[in-house]
Amino acid sequence: MSKIKNDLFLRALKGETVERPPVWMMRQAGRYLPEFIAIREKYDFFTRCRTPELASEITVQPIRRFGMDAAILFSDILVIPQAMNIEVQMKEGIGPWLPNPIRSQKDVDNVIVPDVTVELKYVMDAIKVTKQMLDNEVPLIGFAGSPWTILCYCVQGQGSKTFDKAKEFCFTQPIAAHRLLQKITDTTIAYLKEKVKAGVDVVQLFDSWGGMLSPVDYQEFSWKYINQIIEALKDDAPVIAFGKGCWFALEEMSKSNAAALGVDWTITPQMARKLTGNKITLQGNFDPVRLLSPPKVIKQMVKEMIDDFGKDKYIVNLGHGILPHVPLENAKAFIDAVKEYNQ
């Protein structure tokens, strides 16, 4: 493999001393960019995911425009359940829609652990095309949802503010729930290993709905499966674990072999450092809605955020995905503030 020209992101993941922290944004490949919207008007969501030329173009768009320090492959966490014999649609105005949610042991028995090299070959093809397009300028991140977050959609059948049906399934049918979580975990490990083989430099696990669980239930139904994935991947590529609303688990998470932990905006940088004993790289945690503040305010806040986290063992990011209606100049102000940073 040729050397990546801008390896700032990889060095920060190793905890090396850097001149400034690297920056990228969750959901940077997507809906706030006019060049993305032009593609979206022609192709539906899963067509974009499944067509390597489209997925790679969308992945590279924000790098061309803003020059982030890492690209993240355009895809979706729900390609995993699709490969596992679970129907997933993307409905306008609703989002993910699963017509046959999983509610029983029998439903779990019908879920397969697929051959990812066949069922998800389109993702690997997209990685290869993207790597060519990036031409070793910046590292490429591949990602997956956490098993718990995938279970939430599979059982609930759609997005939710509470994921009450998903939790009920875990609490009333724990054997079936753990069986499903293990099948998702096994598939995810195989999937991420293939992604690394195809060329991604780093993998990130998104536990978007981890914060729905109590600290005790989080350990049982989410963290132990995330940790299995980290253990399986740690020798293949650096793993970033991001649990939204999961600050209560940071101390436990920092004992793992994750290369970095993502944090959201509900915790101060100082508290996140304290809980993790300042021994692991942290990523985050700008409130995405704050990108609607004036550019001048954004720049000031980003500078303060870096000062608070410290420039080393730190990756500047949002605390969740960028919103569709963020003005381009505001996104640019966020990236520029990091590039202009010097203490």
Q: Does 30 belong to an annotated binding site?
A: yes
Q: Check 11, 31, 65, 103 and give the catalytic one.
A: 31
325 phi/psi in degrees, rounded to 5? -100, 20
Q: Check 76, 107, 236, 287 and give the catalytic one.
A: 76
**Structure token pair of residue 160:** 């939710």
Q: Are 195 and 203 in contact (CB under 8 A)?
A: yes
Q: Does 153 belong to an annotated binding site?
A: yes
Closest CA to 71 of 124, 130, 13: 130
Q: Does 46 belong to an annotated binding site?
A: yes
139 phi/psi in degrees, rounded to 5? -70, 160
The CA-atom distances, in angstroms, between 212 and each of 43, 221, 267 are 33, 11, 16
Q: Does 27 belong to an annotated binding site?
A: yes
One-letter amino acid identity for 219? Q
Q: Does 287 belong to an annotated binding site?
A: no
Q: Does 293 belong to an annotated binding site?
A: no
Q: Does 31 belong to an annotated binding site?
A: yes
Helices and strands (H, E) in the chain, number of each type? 17, 9
Residue 214: alpha-carbon gap to chain centroid: 22
Catalytic residue check, 40: yes
Sign of CA dihedral 272, 278, 279, 280: positive
Catalytic residue check, 31: yes
Q: Check 11, 27, 65, 179 and give the catalytic one.
A: 27
Catalytic residue check, 64: no
Catalytic residue check, 201: no
**H or E element: which one contains 189?**
helix 174-198
The CA-atom distances, in angstroms, between 20 and each of 134, 139, 174, 207, 342 are 22, 17, 46, 27, 7
Q: Check 153, 191, 218, 225 and give the catalytic one.
A: 153
Q: Which residues contribute to the annotated binding site?
A: 27-31, 46, 76, 153, 208, 320
What residues are annotated to the active site?
A: 27, 31, 40, 76, 153
Q: Which residues contribute to the annotated binding site for substrate?
A: 27-31, 46, 76, 153, 208, 320
